[in-house]
Homo-oligomer: A and B are copies of this chain.
């Protein structure tokens, strides 16, 4: 995972996943690593960024198209992780599907 992600010229798409974790790991860490590895293999995947602080996590994944996002959402292993997220890992989350219209960066 390169962070910040190295993305191409806009437009491209972003999925902002903001979540509040429940207490305890309950297999979350292992599954989170597995999902990142799996996402990286999906067609149209451009990059991912993730940080968690005091239980509040923000993961942003970048994609070439809405179709690529839909295919990842429907991936069978990812579906199982999503179900486990609702039953065990998250007390609350919001997923936002966005079109990145402009970006700019700074590097020392």
Bitwise interface map of A from 57 to 68 toward B, beta carbon under 8 Å scored 1, else 0: 110100000000
Instruction: List A2-55 residues whose CB lies under 8 Å from chain B.
Output: 3-5, 7, 10, 14, 16, 18-20, 49-53
Interface of A is mostly: strand
Q: Tell me the number of copies of this protein.
A: 2
| Given A94-B106, A95-B103, 5 more pairs with CB closer than 8 A | A16-B60, A86-B106, A94-B103, A94-B104, A96-B102
Residues of chain A having any CB pair with chain B under 8 Å? 3-5, 7, 10, 14, 16, 18-20, 49-53, 56-58, 60, 85-86, 90-108
Listed from nearest, the 10 A-B pairs whose CB atoms lie closest are A98-B98, A4-B18, A51-B53, A4-B94, A51-B51, A96-B103, A94-B105, A97-B102, A58-B58, A92-B107
What are 30 A-B contacts defined by CB distance under 8 Å?
Answer: A3-B18, A3-B20, A4-B18, A4-B19, A4-B92, A5-B94, A7-B96, A14-B14, A16-B100, A18-B49, A49-B58, A51-B53, A51-B56, A51-B57, A53-B53, A58-B60, A60-B60, A90-B106, A92-B105, A92-B106, A92-B107, A92-B108, A93-B105, A94-B103, A94-B105, A94-B106, A95-B103, A96-B100, A96-B103, A98-B101
